[in-house]
Amino acid sequence: MTSFEPIPSDFYGFENALSDQEKQTIVALREFLEAEVRPIMNDLWMNAEFFPRHIVTGLADLGLFGQPWEETRQFENSAVFRGWIALELARVDASVATLVGMQNGLVMGSIAVAGSPEQRAEWLPKFASGELLGAFGLTEPLSGSDTAQGLQTVAKRDGDNWIINGAKRWIGNGSISDVTIVWARDADDNQVKGFIVPTSTPGYSAKRIENKQALRIVQNADIVLTDVVVPESNRLQGSKSFRETAAVLRLTRAEVAWAAIGNSIGAYEAAVKYAGERIQFGKPIGSHQLIQELLAKSLGNITASIGLVTRVSAMLDEGTQRDEHSSLAKEYTTSRMRETVAWCRELFGGNGIVMDYGVVKYFADAEAIYSYEGTREMNTLIVGRAITGKAAFV
Ligand SMILES: Cc1cc2nc3c(=O)[nH]c(=O)nc-3n(C[C@H](O)[C@H](O)[C@H](O)COP(=O)(O)OP(=O)(O)OC[C@H]3O[C@@H](n4cnc5c(N)ncnc54)[C@H](O)[C@@H]3O)c2cc1C
């Protein structure tokens, strides 16, 4: 195995602070991504096809599903390390980062945060091994940013069972998952609760959203739930209100912030290479001052963002991270990502919109990362509430 080196776009060498075991995992992950994902990702993206199964099991073998949780982690590790995993994944492909973020964070996170010890013991290992592919069903056709108040999917208690009716939209890998975590409003107490729903349950149907122009490898789905019967043992026992849903999102939002930086780095690395190769006015475009400015501004965004997320993840380990902290990280890094991928695409001229040149995928995927797990506006309002003490959502 090759030895660990920080990537050149980690300009201040933040990644050097990881433990030796964490660095070894990063090296193995880089080798896996270069061998298995990079060669096929553009074709998958163009054809809107999901990763072949061996990619899912390969990610599981690397221990990427379940690193935060006691039942499934391969070794004790830090939130900063898990952030670097998200960054390294997205640096190659934002869809593979999204797959890991969903399985490890949103799905296993829901069970780890809101499940009973028995539910954790039963379900987490199955997701960690890749035996089960999960999806996280919160957003609905009529409720996106306002899910805390607006969720319309209803769960009605019926003896030892719950009967769920409603619809979900945008659910990542929802058309191919084995199990979907469905968040629904309890018809009796009006509180949002989480349910572990096997997708083979009668009444569950999912249809892929077609013609999506970002994160095309991720299979987003519209889901309809019609009298879906779920046993009480599949209700996340600790989920009593939207507070638990928000706790899951707080964990994953900070990791999306790391993935946004990885996506920026993917575009930046392609731009640095192109700047050295493309000749105009008799010399590589990288020798022109304005091209150097685009690269320097991009590296500035990346470096500032890494500094910010390093601290916000350390706060998670310290137990001091609050909603507004992860929201600021998501808002800041995704905004910087949007600038960075645009500058890097610009550097390619016309070739910047051709898939073969390796930058336009990062440019397009940035739009999905910018909007999912809380839009810029929602994360800004969460920070604004913390600053002023006044909620300005409505
Ligand atoms: C690729 C992708 C993957 C996704 N994966 C999942 C998934 O796996 N599971 C899941 O549950 N969801 C998923 N989502 C859904 C995602 O979280 C939502 O798209 C997001 O929360 C925004 O909701 P919306 O699209 O309904 O937009 P809307 O809520 O309709 O918002 C539209 C616009 O209005 C703005 N807005 C809304 N309210 C206010 C306000 N009060 N003040 C100012 N501006 C406001 C928003 O910021 C946005 O710009 C995914 C989305 C995408 C695009």
Both 324 and 368 in a single domain?
Answer: yes
Nearest CA to ligand 1 atom 53: 368
Mean pLDDT across the chain: 97
- Dist CA 126 CA 132 (whole Å): 6
Question: Looking at the domain assignment, is residue 248 inside a domain?
Answer: yes
Both 113 and 19 in a single domain?
Answer: yes
Question: Looking at the domain assignment, is residue 2 inside a domain?
Answer: no
- pLDDT, tens digit (0-9, with 9 covering 90-100), for 38-49: 999 999 999 999
- Tell how far the Cα of 145 is from the centroid of ligand 1, in angstroms: 5
Specify the ligand 1 atom closest to the Cα of 394: 41
Question: Looking at the domain assignment, is residue 173 inside a domain?
Answer: yes
Domain around 91:
14-128
Both 114 and 140 in a single domain?
Answer: no
What CATH number corresponds to the domain at position 25?
1.10.540.10
Q: Is the pLDDT of residue 159 over 70?
A: yes
Enumerate the β-bridge partners of residue 207.
222
Q: Does ligand 1 come within 6 angstroms of the Cβ of 378?
A: yes
Whether 12 contacts 303, CB under 8 Å? yes
Question: Looking at the domain assignment, is residue 64 inside a domain?
Answer: yes
Q: What is the pLDDT of residue 222?
A: 98
Domain count, the chain: 3
* Domain-ending residue, one of 128, 154, 184: 128
Whether 9 contacts 299, CB under 8 Å? yes
- Dist CA 79 CA 15 (whole Å): 13
200-232 in b/e form (b: 16+ CB < 10 A) is: ebeebebeebeeeebbbbbbbbbbbbeebebee
Both 110 and 207 in a single domain?
Answer: no
Question: Looking at the domain assignment, is residue 1 inside a domain?
Answer: no
Question: Looking at the domain assignment, is residue 300 inside a domain?
Answer: yes
Question: Looking at the domain assignment, is residue 304 inside a domain?
Answer: yes
- pLDDT, tens digit (0-9, with 9 covering 90-100), for 287-325: 999 999 999 999 999 999 999 999 999 999 999 999 999
Enumerate the β-bridge partners of residue 294.
none
Q: Does ligand 1 come within 6 angstroms of the Cβ of 44?
A: no
- pLDDT, tens digit (0-9, with 9 covering 90-100), for 78-87: 999 999 999 9
- Dist CA 255 CA 269 (whole Å): 21
What CATH number corresponds to the domain at position 212?
2.40.110.10
- Tell how far the Cα of 372 is from the centroid of ligand 1, in angstroms: 6
Residue 110 parent element (H or E): helix 108-114
CA 341 to chain centre: 18
Q: What is the pLDDT of residue 250?
A: 87
Share of the chain above pLDDT 90, in %: 98
- Strand 204-208, strand 154-158: pairing: unpaired
Both 229 and 290 in a single domain?
Answer: no
Both 193 and 280 in a single domain?
Answer: no
Q: What is the pLDDT of residue 1?
A: 65
Lowest mean pLDDT, pick from 41-50, 66-75, 181-190, 271-280? 66-75
Q: Does ligand 1 come within 6 angstroms of the Cβ of 144?
A: yes
The DSSP secondary structure of 164-190, one letter per residue, reads: EEEEEEEEETTTT-SEEEEEEEETTT-
Phi/psi-derived region of residue 173, left when phi > 0, alpha when psi is between -120 and 50, beta in every other case: left
Both 138 and 123 in a single domain?
Answer: no
Q: Distance of CA 94 to CAs 30, 64, 259, 284, 312, Å?
A: 14, 15, 7, 29, 21
- Dist CA 245 CA 137 (whole Å): 11
Q: Does ligand 1 come within 6 angstroms of the Cβ of 215?
A: yes
The three-state secondary structure class of 199 is coil
- Dist CA 180 CA 193 (whole Å): 13
The three-state secondary structure class of 218 is coil
Q: Distance of CA 345 to CAs 228, 237, 292, Å?
A: 46, 47, 14
Question: Looking at the domain assignment, is residue 9 inside a domain?
Answer: no
Both 277 and 173 in a single domain?
Answer: no
- pLDDT, tens digit (0-9, with 9 covering 90-100), for 112-140: 999 999 999 999 999 999 999 999 999 99
Pocket test for ligand 1, best of 142, 372, 380 (most atoms within 8 A of CB): 372
Both 97 and 207 in a single domain?
Answer: no
